[in-house]
């Protein structure tokens, strides 16, 4: 495994500099996690809008991993509030370019997001991941995440005649 060059840095996401690259990442993120889903123009336009909003929000944290000016990774976290938990951190998105995987760079991005959560008084971080995305599940397990709830799905198919 190649060592991580010292020129690899984590910086806050800036739409003006990083938007195009981060949008490109979403093809793989969404198509891998939602088998059958096709990322299209409308999805990307909506995602871009959400990124711009998040960039200005104090309860969202977005960073890129840069190497000599090139964006090679991305992480998006948020501070959330639920009916049972007034303050919980949530990892929305994490990505590392294929040619730089296997060097624990995603772990560095996760640590950045979790440190930001701690600084905001959050004691717990949560995330959703698709069961078939073994690499991501492995990453999260290495980072200390464990299954706390199951999200169960059922394919309803066609409506049965006579109902
Ligand atoms: C998930 C993802 C972010 C992981 O990125 P990564 O930087 O390669 O993550 P890591 O390096 O921590 O781990 C990847 C693998 O490299 C291995 N690895 C990590 N550091 C290593 C090191 N120093 N030496 C050897 N192997 C190492 C890990 O054991 C892991 O192996 P596994 O997949 O067999 O479990 C990346 O695969 C990705 O961007 N995927 C597409 C987007 C996606 O699905 N994101 C998650 C959305 S829920």
Evaluate the CA torsion angle 55, 59, 60, 61 in order and state its sign.
positive
Task: Give the per-residue pLDDT at 2.
Answer: 61
**Residue 95 and residue 29 in contact, taking contact as beta carbons nearer than 8 Å:** yes
For ligand 1, the distance from its centroid to the CA atom of residue 24, given in whole angstroms, is 19
Give residue-wise pLDDT tens across range 15-55: 999 999 999 999 999 999 999 999 999 999 999 999 999 99
Strand blocks (E) in the chain: 8-12, 60-67, 70-80, 88-96, 125-127
Query: Whose Cα sits closest to atom 33 in ligand 1?
Result: 135
Q: Which atom of ligand 1 is nearest to 138's Cα? A: 35
Q: Which residues have any ligand 1 atom within 6 Å of their CB?
A: 1, 28-29, 32-33, 94-96, 101-107, 129, 133, 135-136, 138-139
Report the nearest-CA residue for atom 32 of ligand 1: 135
Is the separation of the CB atoms in 109 and 10 below 8 Å? yes
Reduced DSSP (H G I as helix, E B as strand, rest coil) percent helix, strand, coil of the chain, to 5: 35, 20, 40
Q: pTM of this prediction?
A: 0.91
List C-alpha distances in Å: 94 to 69, 74, 82, 112: 19, 6, 22, 11
Q: Per-residue pLDDT tens for 101-121? A: 999 999 999 999 999 999 999
CA of 91, closest atom in ligand 1? 48
Which of 31, 113, 139 is the pocket-test mutation for ligand 1 (most atoms within 8 Å of CB)? 139
Torsion of CA 68, 39, 94, 151, to 10 degrees: 180
pLDDT of the residue at 160: 78
Distance in angstroms (rounded) separating the CA atoms of residues 119 and 16? 26
pLDDT in tens, 57-89: 999 999 999 999 999 999 999 999 999 899 999
CA distance 64 to 70: 10
Q: Name the residue with tokens 């020129």.
A: 7
């Amino acid at each position: 495994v190649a060592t991580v060059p010292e020129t690899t840095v984590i910086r806050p996401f800036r739409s003006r500099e990083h938007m195009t690259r981060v949008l490109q990442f979403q093809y793989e993120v969404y198509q891998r996690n939602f088998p059958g889903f096709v990322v299209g123009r409308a999805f990307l336009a909506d995602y871009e809008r959400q990124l711009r909003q998040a960039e200005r929000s104090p309860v969202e944290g977005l960073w890129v991993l840069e190497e000599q000016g090139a964006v090679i990774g991305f992480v998006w976290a948020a501070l959330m509030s639920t009916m049972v938990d007034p303050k919980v951190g949530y990892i929305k998105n994490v990505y590392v370019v294929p040619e730089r995987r296997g060097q624990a760079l995603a772990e560095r991005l996760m640590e950045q997001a979790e440190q930001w959560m701690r600084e905001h008084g959050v004691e717990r971080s949560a995330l959703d991941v698709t069961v078939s995305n073994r690499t991501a599940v492995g990453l999260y397990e290495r980072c200390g995440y464990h299954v706390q709830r199951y999200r169960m799905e059922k394919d309803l198919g066609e409506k049965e005649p006579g109902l």
